[in-house]
């Protein structure tokens, strides 16, 4: 009967991390002056679903911790508590702490209790306005108290495994009003009755118990989470609680709540509990949280969807149902076309050729549509990556005492999932660089006549078949002279080398290059930029830098939209066939040998509209010996662009355009210079896909 809960753990963790990210971004967007209640709601929902989930899966440490956060957030939401920067910082810290806890649990390690306790204390201090000392004292002790209480109330209670959702039974949140005891009701009696119905587990929430000196022995400050296991009807439960109906808030849910929408027995007194002036905070929050549990369920769903948009490294994809529906429709079409073709083929005669051709054309269209919609499923908005940067900027800028605003533009730009996963680390690195080296200290900025607050803009947009991600800062810019001097000092270039501006900027991608005068823990070790470039190149993209001294730096990353399929132009060189990605082709020109100019007897250039472009003879650089060499006297020049530079590839012939599926050469071999991958042609043979930026780089050298 019991189902292995661990199979749901992965989903739970994913949801938790999504929730945490939603909370984090919410906290960061909170504006102290003008609180947007919707943002607080979002944060609250995040905390709430984590609490719910961790409770279900038996991660009580997490549930307890989130509960405190939730209490605090709830007060903020109701406007009963001022949202202050310190409180937000503590909440941010708690988000980190939760993340640590969840990661530890996920990896089946022990939760770092010391750090949890520290954050818990900080939270409680904020919650109690820093007044109640005893309560915020060691939380570990609290834990033991709560266990004691449980033991006292139900002495002969059997040891229970953590909640199993598939068990039959009921989960009851029982939260009596302060004066429950005065009405002559004893919760212990209720529990005994419950225990007769089935196996009862009780967990007492004692965080509302005031400090020892403030305690009123006639008040009931404890609330309980009860769990009864057994085949019990809702009426039986209701009967037991009949007597206390007006004196408490309670909610009854079947244990297997995931399976069916709980026909919850809800008894809520419309008036919130009386608030004692000495201890105003936690009690109503607790109550409120319980009340909202049910109504918030649907909202939680929404927030999860929202959160789905913001995850960074999800190993599964959540796909819009619309996308799936389109896909299913398309598969249907393909099946119909296929059966139609089958019919044509069954009794084939020449007069059916027209029908066959029509069918094939239809099949082609459907296949293309199908392929596009499948690709579409892999597309995720770039906000999956961007969403974590506000936090990064927030943390680092406060560490560096700089004032920096991060602007995100084009977060909804969709990119391939693989790109999303791999682009994150390079981006983190580049943003750290901008924060540390790019933006100046506020005083320097004012002295330079710039606004005190620096701006980093993270922008994503589509251009052609590429997605462009730009990191724009208005900082000090790159100092060309300094870069040159450093490169010469490190022996990376010769002293007399003449470099273009672009080439100088490219120096920072050299391994071991750092101009930072001082190493910080943020950046400056001179490892990284080369790795950044390598990562981006391995994605088939490239990176370029535009910088103006004193004005700022723009780093633009160009990436292919998808890593799986590209539109290609097949070209012939001798007997070999190569694929040139269509996006990089500017034009193709029929030429004769005389149209090429020799430079210094070696390199060749071609004059295209008053611009001299270097010519790469594919036959030479790929050492192709097959075919008729005289043919190369009259060839086709394919003008290509890569990394902002143009060059011409001299090939024998243009063959045709087609979509090609990219296969990795590295999977079974290794990276080959000038080749970005391979594909399989219609006749089953292999063709190599040219790495245009790599060839261009080669031609410039």
**Cα–Cα distance for residue pair 28/391, rounded to 1 Å:** 7
Mark residues 610-649: x for contact with other proteins by CB under 8 A, - for none: -----------xxxx-------------------------
Minimum distance from CB of 132 to other proteins (Å)?
A: 54
Does the protein bind other proteins through residue 8 (CB under 8 A)? Answer: no
Minimum distance from CB of 636 to other proteins (Å)?
A: 19
**Of the two residues 224 and 578, which places its CB atom closer to other proteins in the complex?**
578
**Of the two residues 178 and 687, which places its CB atom closer to other proteins in the complex?**
687
Residues 437-456 that bind other proteins (CB under 8 A): none
Mark residues 647-676: x for contact with other proteins by CB under 8 A, - for none: ----------------xxx-xxxx-xxxx-
Residue tagged 């006639």 (tokens): 218
Exactly one of 234, 317, 680, 700 binds other proteins (CB under 8 A); which one?
680
Stretch that binds other proteins, among 99-107, 490-498, 628-636, 677-685 (CB under 8 A): 677-685
**Of the two residues 498 and 667, which places its CB atom closer to other proteins in the complex?**
667
Give how far Cα 157 sits from Cα of 187, 563, 661, Å.
16, 58, 63
**Cα–Cα distance for residue pair 424/430, rounded to 1 Å:** 10
Minimum distance from CB of 672 to other proteins (Å)?
A: 6
**Of the two residues 381 and 540, which places its CB atom closer to other proteins in the complex?**
540
Minimum distance from CB of 631 to other proteins (Å)?
A: 18
Minimum distance from CB of 401 to other proteins (Å)?
A: 44
Strand partners, 205: 223
**Cα–Cα distance for residue pair 324/314, rounded to 1 Å:** 19
Exactly one of 8, 13, 509, 698 binds other proteins (CB under 8 A); which one?
698
* Cβ-contact 427, 442 below 8 angstroms: no
**Of the two residues 223 and 577, which places its CB atom closer to other proteins in the complex?**
577
Minimum distance from CB of 176 to other proteins (Å)?
A: 59
The first and second tokens of residue 444, run together, are 């320097």
**Of the two residues 430 and 616, which places its CB atom closer to other proteins in the complex?**
616
Minimum distance from CB of 371 to other proteins (Å)?
A: 15
**Of the two residues 393 and 580, which places its CB atom closer to other proteins in the complex?**
580
* Cβ-contact 579, 676 below 8 angstroms: no
Exactly one of 687, 692, 693, 696 binds other proteins (CB under 8 A); which one?
687
**Crossing angle, helix 37-56 and helix 6-29, to 10 degrees?**
160
**Cα–Cα distance for residue pair 54/269, rounded to 1 Å:** 28
Minimum distance from CB of 642 to other proteins (Å)?
A: 14
Exactly one of 576, 604, 641, 653 binds other proteins (CB under 8 A); which one?
576
Minimum distance from CB of 554 to other proteins (Å)?
A: 29
Minimum distance from CB of 678 to other proteins (Å)?
A: 4
**Of the two residues 381 and 677, which places its CB atom closer to other proteins in the complex?**
677
Pairs from 275-282 (Cβ < 8 Å, separation ≥ 24): 276/178, 278/210, 278/214, 279/208, 279/210, 279/214, 280/80, 281/71, 281/75, 281/80, 281/81, 281/127, 281/128, 281/129, 282/71, 282/127, 282/128, 282/207, 282/208
Q: Three-state DSSP class for 4?
A: coil
Minimum distance from CB of 686 to other proteins (Å)?
A: 4
* Cβ-contact 286, 205 below 8 angstroms: yes
**Of the two residues 181 and 418, which places its CB atom closer to other proteins in the complex?**
418
Minimum distance from CB of 618 to other proteins (Å)?
A: 9
Strands (E), 440-564: 454-463, 466-473, 542-548, 552-560
Minimum distance from CB of 655 to other proteins (Å)?
A: 14
Minimum distance from CB of 662 to other proteins (Å)?
A: 10
**Of the two residues 340 and 675, which places its CB atom closer to other proteins in the complex?**
675
Residues 95-154 that bind other proteins (CB under 8 A): none
**Of the two residues 556 and 621, which places its CB atom closer to other proteins in the complex?**
621
* Cβ-contact 376, 323 below 8 angstroms: yes
* Cβ-contact 577, 651 below 8 angstroms: no
**Which is it for the CA torsion 490, 495, 501, 502, positive or negative?**
negative
* CA 697 centroid distance within chain: 33
Stretch that binds other proteins, among 171-179, 187-195, 643-651, 678-686 (CB under 8 A): 678-686
**Of the two residues 315 and 623, which places its CB atom closer to other proteins in the complex?**
623
**Cα–Cα distance for residue pair 388/22, rounded to 1 Å:** 10
**Of the two residues 111 and 507, which places its CB atom closer to other proteins in the complex?**
507
Stretch that binds other proteins, among 167-175, 191-199, 543-551, 685-693 (CB under 8 A): 685-693
DSSP letter at 663 equals B
Q: Three-state DSSP class for 164?
A: coil
**Of the two residues 157 and 675, which places its CB atom closer to other proteins in the complex?**
675
Length of the chain counted residue by residue: 701
Strands (E), 177-222: 199-205
Exactly one of 430, 688, 692, 696 binds other proteins (CB under 8 A); which one?
688
**Of the two residues 477 and 674, which places its CB atom closer to other proteins in the complex?**
674
Mode of pairing for the β-strands spanning 542-548 and 565-573: unpaired
Minimum distance from CB of 665 to other proteins (Å)?
A: 6
CA nearest neighbour of 618 among 686, 698, 549, 550? 698
**Cα–Cα distance for residue pair 674/688, rounded to 1 Å:** 10
**Cα–Cα distance for residue pair 675/682, rounded to 1 Å:** 20
**Of the two residues 583 and 678, which places its CB atom closer to other proteins in the complex?**
678
CA nearest neighbour of 196 among 223, 242, 221, 229? 229
Total of residues contacting other proteins (CB under 8 A) = 26
Minimum distance from CB of 153 to other proteins (Å)?
A: 54
Does the protein bind other proteins through residue 686 (CB under 8 A)? Answer: yes
**Of the two residues 42 and 569, which places its CB atom closer to other proteins in the complex?**
569
**Which is it for the CA torsion 345, 351, 352, 354, positive or negative?**
positive
Stretch that binds other proteins, among 146-154, 288-296, 474-482, 682-690 (CB under 8 A): 682-690
Exactly one of 684, 693, 696, 700 binds other proteins (CB under 8 A); which one?
684
Phi, psi at 673, each rounded to 5°: -60, 135
Minimum distance from CB of 328 to other proteins (Å)?
A: 25
| Strand ranges of the sheet holding 611-617, from the earlier edge strand across to the other edge | 585-592, 634-642, 645-651, 611-617, 603-608, 596-599
Does the protein bind other proteins through residue 678 (CB under 8 A)? Answer: yes
- Helix/strand number for the chain, H first, E second: 21, 23
Stretch that binds other proteins, among 415-423, 557-565, 605-613, 687-695 (CB under 8 A): 687-695
**Residues lying near other proteins in the complex (CB under 8 A):** 576-577, 621-624, 663-665, 667-670, 672-675, 678, 680, 684-688, 694, 698
């Amino acid at each position: 009967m019991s189902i292995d809960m661990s199979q749901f753990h992965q989903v739970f963790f994913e949801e938790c991390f999504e929730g945490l990210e939603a909370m984090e971004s919410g906290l960061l967007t909170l504006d102290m002056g003008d609180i947007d209640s919707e943002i607080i709601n979002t944060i609250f929902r995040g905390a709430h679903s984590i609490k719910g989930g961790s409770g279900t899966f038996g991660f009580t440490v997490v549930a307890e911790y989130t509960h405190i956060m939730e209490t605090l957030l709830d007060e903020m939401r109701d406007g009963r508590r001022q949202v202050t920067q310190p409180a937000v910082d503590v909440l941010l810290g708690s988000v980190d702490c939760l993340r640590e806890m969840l990661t530890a649990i996920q990896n089946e390690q022990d939760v770092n209790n010391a750090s949890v306790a520290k954050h818990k204390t900080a939270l409680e201090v904020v919650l109690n306005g820093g007044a109640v000392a005893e309560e915020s004292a060691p939380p570990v002790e609290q834990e033991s108290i709560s266990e004691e209480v449980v033991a006292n109330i139900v002495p002969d209670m059997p040891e229970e495994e953590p909640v199993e959702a598939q068990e039959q039974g009921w989960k009851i949140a029982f939260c009596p009003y302060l004066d429950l005891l005065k009405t002559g009701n004893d919760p212990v009696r209720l529990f005994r009755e419950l225990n007769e119905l089935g196996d009862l587990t009780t967990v007492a929430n004692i965080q509302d118990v005031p400090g020892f000196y403030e305690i009123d022995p006639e008040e009931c400050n404890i609330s309980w989470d009860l769990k009864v296991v057994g085949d019990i009807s809702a009426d039986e439960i209701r009967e037991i609680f009949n007597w206390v109906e007006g004196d408490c808030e309670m909610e009854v849910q079947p244990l297997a709540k995931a399976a069916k929408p709980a026909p919850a027995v809800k008894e809520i007194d419309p008036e919130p509990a009386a608030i004692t002036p000495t201890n105003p905070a936690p009690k109503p929050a607790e109550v409120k949280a319980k009340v909202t549990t049910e109504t918030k369920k649907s909202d939680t769903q929404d927030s999860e969807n929202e959160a789905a948009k913001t995850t960074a490294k999800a190993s599964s994809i959540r796909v819009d149902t619309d996308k799936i529906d389109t896909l299913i429709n398309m598969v249907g079409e393909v099946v119909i076309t296929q059966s139609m073709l089958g019919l044509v083929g069954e009794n084939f005669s020449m007069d059916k050729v027209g029908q066959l051709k029509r069918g094939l054309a239809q099949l082609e269209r459907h296949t293309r549509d199908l392929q596009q919609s499948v690709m579409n499923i892999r597309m995720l908005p770039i906000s999956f990556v961007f969403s974590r940067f506000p936090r990064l900027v927030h943390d680092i800028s406060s560490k560096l005492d700089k004032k920096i605003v991060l602007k995100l533009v084009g977060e909804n730009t969709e990119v391939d999932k693989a790109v999303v996963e791999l682009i994150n680390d390079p981006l983190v690195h580049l943003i750290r660089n901008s924060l540390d080296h790019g933006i100046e200290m506020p005083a320097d900025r004012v002295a330079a006549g710039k606004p005190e607050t620096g701006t980093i803009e993270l922008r994503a947009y589509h251009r052609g078949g590429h997605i462009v991600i730009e990191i724009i800062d208005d900082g000090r810019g790159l100092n060309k002279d300094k870069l040159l001097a450093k490169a010469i000092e490190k022996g990376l270039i010769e002293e007399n080398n003449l470099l273009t501006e672009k080439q100088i900027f490219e120096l920072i991608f050299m391994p071991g290059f750092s101009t930072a005068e001082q190493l910080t823990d943020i950046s400056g070790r001179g490892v990284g930029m080369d790795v950044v470039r390598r990562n981006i190149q391995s994605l088939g993209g490239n990176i370029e830098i535009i910088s103006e001294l004193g004005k700022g730096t723009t780093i633009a990353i160009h990436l292919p939209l998808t890593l799986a399929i590209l539109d290609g132009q097949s070209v012939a060189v001798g007997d070999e066939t190569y694929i040139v990605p269509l996006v990089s082709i500017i034009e193709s020109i029929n030429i004769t040998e005389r149209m090429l100019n020799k430079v210094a007897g070696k390199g060749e250039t071609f004059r295209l509209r008053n611009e001299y472009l270097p010519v790469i003879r594919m036959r030479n650089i790929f050492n192709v010996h097959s075919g008729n060499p005289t043919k190369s006297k009259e060839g086709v020049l394919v003008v290509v662009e890569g990394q902002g530079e143009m060059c011409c590839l001299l090939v024998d012939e243009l063959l045709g355009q087609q979509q090609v599926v990219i296969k990795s050469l590295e999977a079974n071999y290794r990276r080959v210079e000038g080749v970005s991958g391979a594909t399989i042609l219609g006749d089953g043979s292999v063709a190599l896909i040219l790495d245009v930026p790599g060839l261009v780089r080669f031609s410039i050298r």
